[in-house]
Amino acid sequence: MRQHAKDNPVARPRSRRPSALTVQAALVAASGLLLVMPRAEGPFLVVPLLPGQSGQAPAWVTETGGRLIGPARIPGALVVTGDRAALASAALGHGALITHAPLWACGGPVQRR
């Protein structure tokens, strides 16, 4: 028969503090988010997540005050500039994701060493 902690005087109560592994996992996740989190303004990568949505992106980007820079190396994605808050809310409504625009994802040639 199992004994409950309150019935067993030797049992230790569970700590309410997070474990070291939980804290480390949270730090890794937060640093990963900082890598893809775009600045408030600047170049962004608009990546459609739903099939058939890439053709609609230029319209909602310009309607929200964004400016099209050109296609990205990722199929269906666009490089745009504008206000992150406006673009993010529009992207969410149109099934797209915005991230910062890394140089490797932009349309220019990639130089390898």
For 26-35, the pLDDT digits (tens) are 777 766 665 5
Map out the domains of the chain as residue ranges. Answer: 38-105
Strands 41-48 and 78-83: antiparallel
pTM of the model: 0.57
The predicted structure's pLDDT at residue 13: 62
Give Cβ neighbours of residue 54 (< 8 Å, ≥ 6 apart): 48, 75, 76, 77, 78
Task: Report the relative pairing of strands 96-100 and 41-48 from DSSP bridges.
Answer: antiparallel
Cα–Cα dist 4/71, whole Å = 62
- Tell me the pLDDT band of 11, cut-offs 50, 70 and 90: low
Q: Where are the alpha helices (DSSP H) in the chain?
A: 20-36, 57-63, 84-93
Which one has a higher pLDDT value, 8 or 25? 25
Rounded to an integer, the average pLDDT of 8-16 is 63
What is the dotted CATH code of the domain comprising 38-105? 3.30.70
* Most confident range, picked from 29-38, 62-71, 85-94: 62-71
